[in-house]
Amino acid sequence: MMIQRSLLSTSLRRCCRKQQTIISSNFSSSASEEPPEDSATIIQGPSLLTMTGVHRPSPSLFQLPGLRSLPFWTAPESSGSQSQNRKHRVAFNDQLVTTAVEYVESNFESIRSEYFATVLGQGKETDLDSGKVLKPMEPDYDVSSKGGEHADDALHSGNWDWHSYVLNGRKNERFKERCPKTAEVIDTLEKEGLLFGTPFGFCFFSTLHGNSSIQAHSGPMNLRLRMHLPLVVPPKGDSGSEQSRPTTGIRVADQVREWHEGKAIILDDSYVHEVWNDANSPRVLLLLDLWHPDVRMEERQKISTMFSYAKEKGWIGQAKK
């Protein structure tokens, strides 16, 4: 995703940091250009107070005031009866987030099977003459490409593969052909108004290979919540060395979590967060973005109109790989 810096209009201003923008000398915009009346607006606000010693949301582009925020919206997994007896697993007992978590988790086995069959090529068909034995699906996103949301030279180390159904808000029909059940789950979330349907929306199989990491960073906005459905988690101690942190894990703000296969995690990626896999084998999850439940329907429509207008004008576009 790249956003070109210019005076977009009186309502779309310079909202991107330098490392997330490109400057086009051939691009200009007249102050007389106005977005649709039913569009949300982005304006320059007051300076942000940081370095207070307390972790707070710090999106890199912009934020919508007044939204509830927590680093994690799902309670940590615990063993034994404590986990089984927990009445409220989702923060604030939010019904929209709970619905999404329970629905995606109920399809864990199907989603995991499609990952193994499609990405790893471990399907049940073995007759090469049948035409049903397909080649493993190739990764479809270059995380080192310039201009992308995740494209910082220092952001990740090692190998991180994406196999995307939704990339920058666009659906990949090839993925839908190869992973129909996974696509159906995501399409159902979209029909229910839960899927974050903007150019900053993603859904993909995220494979973080062994001895790889994604450095601390924050997402572009606070309009979304991010779900991780762990499909493959390396066993503890797989790194072969003693560590002060989990072998494979994620930190959001000052909270550290481990993944458990089949148990979804909801996080607010507008907080500073980092991910690591110090094991010798890959960690795999289905990552997808949901609308923050506090963003009301009329707001979502105006925000979507704003993004559509920016995309039409060429201010938002797909970065070249």
Give the whole-angstrom CA distance, residue 115 versus residue 110: 9
Rg (CA), the chain: 20
pLDDT higher than threshold 90 for residue 46: no
DSSP 131-179: T--PPPPPP---TTSTTSTT--TTTEES-EEEEEEEETTEE-HHHHHH-
Question: What count of other Cβ atoms lies within 10 Å of the Cβ of residue 126?
Answer: 8
Q: 217-260 pLDDT, tens per residue?
A: 999 999 999 999 999 999 987 766 667 889 999 999 999 999 99
Are the beta carbons of 206 and 239 closer than 8 angstroms?
no
* Percentage with pLDDT > 70 across the chain: 76
pLDDT higher than threshold 60 for residue 84: no
In total, the chain counts a number of residues equal to 321
Residue 141 — pLDDT band, cuts 50, 70, 90? confident
Q: In terms of pLDDT, which residue wins out, 53 or 108?
A: 108
Residue 29 — pLDDT band, cuts 50, 70, 90? very low
pLDDT higher than threshold 70 for residue 134: no
Q: For 164-186, what is the mean pLDDT?
A: 96
pLDDT at 8: 34
Among 121-125, 206-210, 311-315, which is the least confidently predicted range?
Answer: 121-125
Report the predicted TM-score, pTM, of the whole model to 2 decimal places. 0.83
Residue 86 — pLDDT band, cuts 50, 70, 90? low
Contacts of 222 (CB under 8 A, 6+ apart): 57, 59, 63, 64, 67, 69, 268, 270, 292
**Beta strands 2-4 and 21-22, pairing class:** parallel
Among residues 246, 257, 198, the alpha carbon closest in space to that of 40 is found at 198
Question: Please, what sign has the CA dihedral across residues 104, 107, 109, 110?
Answer: negative
Give the whole-angstrom CA distance, residue 201 versus residue 207: 18
